[in-house]
A and B are shown apart, each in its own frame.
Chain A
Amino acid sequence: MTVDTLPYTTFFKAKKGIMSWLFTLDHKRVALLYLYSIMTFFLVGASLGILMRLELFHPGKDIVEPHTYNQIFTLHGVIMIFLFIIPSIPAVFGNFFLPLLLGTDDVAFPKLNLFSFWLYVIGALFALGTLVLGDGPADTGWTFYAPYSVRTGTNVTMSVVAAFVLGFSSILTGLNFIVTIHRLRTPGMGFNQMPLFAWSLYATSWIQLLATPVIGITLLMIVAERVFGVGLFDPSIGGDPVLYQHMFWIYSHPAVYIMALPAMGIVSEIIPTFAQRTIFGYKAIAYSSMAIAFIGYFVWGHHMFTSGMSGPAAYIFSILTFLVAIPTSIKVFNWLATLYKGSINIETPLLFALAFIFNFLIGGLTGLVNGALAADIHLHDTYFVVGHFHYVMFGGTGFAFFGALHYWFPKIWGKMYNKKVANTAFATLLIGFNILYFPMIILGIMGMPRRYYDYLPEFTFWNQISTVGSWITVSSLIVLIVNLFVAANKGKKAPDNPWDGITLEWQTKSPPPLENFDKMPKIPEGGPYNYPNAKSSS
């Protein structure tokens, strides 16, 4: 931001002062506000993760009380889910790049967008407020299962209100994106000429919009139950706690696609750019996003196989769960087919995209194991599940998030980072990540339950490996972030289109001016990924 020689005013400089940031109506600035907040919470969440791993280095009570440990994993879960991963890609890269990819200058409702951000901040304050107010952070796990969440003395009410407010922030972001996509595409760009990231955001937004209200109302019921002392999930008045689980997962399973779909969209952007080749199966990828969003609503029961749900319901949910794997694998095959015979340019973003595929494969396949009725009886609530969802959320979405950060970094800041450092950080992150979580999968199969501060001595070996992995993971994350931080301030100037991409964001300057485009962007002929020199794709 020190370069003053640019012949135009970037969005960084268009307005001055802290107020011009906090109350900005520019989607790019809102996106950066999100980026800074989300990264902060990610680091807080990761520190809690490290703390848990330290406690688990050795069997027995070492550094935290059992009760504190329960609060730590709950806060870790709440932060990582509601403050990091759900907003991550949509709120940061969706906000910044959706208008650019569509060739417009903002989202449909800029004020609403700012409002979503402020809701996010309020929600975050509530979530962290539990640290100092009431009887400490909730100790229920991020799922707030009744009846325990209603009985415990910890400050569940405030955590739940936080999730409620954050839900509304997420709903409004989704609403904004849907209208933006319907109304603000550049003239000549039909739905089928949209970049795939826009498609994935469209599918995601529908989930945010239609699933989140269900958890909103469910959380309100929990609040009411705590306030009035009686409630709808209270067995003493005839309530059924399993119904809470239904309501919770009606949202929270689709929510995993709020996490996964945008990540898949990122991968679908990165791969054609670095293969310099038309994406294989554009429509298959686009429509499979919609299919995933749709089928994603039908499978929530797979979280309740051991909760006393009826047999027939369990079979049906299990079968439906297997169906979601189909559109997901359609995507993977299409990505691989795009790479095949492409002129591959190995850069940091591509590495992250490939790591996404690798990690997501493990995450997805372990997910199917959980979705199989018989296997899940054994694996439910063990470390197998913990390993599985970290592979999907961190190994999948987390890696895609960092991939997107490296992909669009030169566009956002107009600077290039040190690629060697970035690649090194990537490599150690991938290794550290796998050392951290693969042992959890093994531990789960061995039978180690989740959500305990302690374990039997026979689990010691793999737990220690895992803890060592957590150190490597976090050190790599620090290197990765510092590298980008340095580059944003002192990096070499990057060209407007460093990766030879052809989606519309590369047609404007880096960093973009306030209005994004100073002339009409040109949509590439023959589809958004029709690379002029590419070998023909079949």
Chain B
Amino acid sequence: MSDKENIHISSYKEHVSTWLALILLTFMTVFVSVFGAELRTLSVATAMIIATVKATAVGYYFMHLKYDPKIYKIMMATVLGLFVFFMLMITLDYITR
């Protein structure tokens, strides 16, 4: 592997902005779910989408994926792809029974 010594130090500022975004998103989901009870099915989807956005932010900035070599992104994508496949096939079985 190419071992370029590129030690990247994340800045405090970046951490704080990530934190802010995460908190905002958290309040957003809570808000949608507590006060938007009529939009129920919609709120499942939004909750999951928002969770995924939050997870991506954690992975990208806090866990440093943004600055890591590409291999880490590839591996992560493989793992997630696999998991999504598991979900799809099991769902397929249950909804077509």
Contact = CB atoms under 8 A, between A and B. Distances in A.
- On whether the two chains bind one another, the answer is yes
B82 A309 contact: no
Contacts of B93: 246, 301, 309-310, 313
Contacts of B96: 310-313
The secondary-structure label for the interface of chain A is helix
B52 to A, nearest CB: 20
A197 interface: no
Nearest to A191: B1
B19 to A, nearest CB: 30
Contacts of B95: 310
Interface residues of A, number: 18
Given A182-B1, A210-B79, A313 B85 contact: no
A297 interface: yes
A297 B83 CA distance: 10
Contacts of A308: 97
A448 to B, nearest CB: 30
A189 to B, nearest CB: 12
Interface in A158-200: 182-183
B39 interface: no
B70 to A, nearest CB: 13
B89 A316 contact: yes
A241 to B, nearest CB: 14
Nearest to A182: B1
B92 A250 contact: no
Contacts of B82: 210, 297
A298 interface: yes
Q: Is the interface of B mostly helix, strand, loop or mixed?
A: helix
A309 B96 CA distance: 9
A358 B93 CA distance: 36
B79 A313 contact: no
Interface centre among B82, B86, B90, B93 (most CB of A within 10 A): B93
Nearest to B90: A246
Contacts of B86: 214, 250
B81 to A, nearest CB: 10
Contacts of B97: 308-310
A250 B95 CA distance: 19
Given A182-B1, A310-B96, A310-B97, A297 B85 contact: yes
Contacts of B94: 310
B5 to A, nearest CB: 15
Interface in B1-15: 1
Contact of A310 (B1, B71, B85, B92): B92
A309 B91 CA distance: 11
A309 B82 CA distance: 21
Contacts of A313: 89, 92-93, 96
A214 to B, nearest CB: 8
Contacts of A316: 89, 92
8 contacts: A182-B71, A183-B1, A297-B85, A309-B93, A310-B92, A311-B96, A312-B92, A317-B89
Interface of B: 1, 71, 79, 82, 85-86, 89-90, 92-97
Given A214-B86, A246-B90, A301-B89, 9 more contacts: A182-B1, A183-B1, A246-B93, A250-B86, A310-B92, A310-B95, A312-B92, A313-B89, A313-B93
In order of increasing CB-CB distance, the 10 nearest A-B pairs are A313-B93, A310-B96, A310-B97, A312-B96, A310-B93, A313-B92, A309-B93, A246-B90, A297-B82, A250-B86
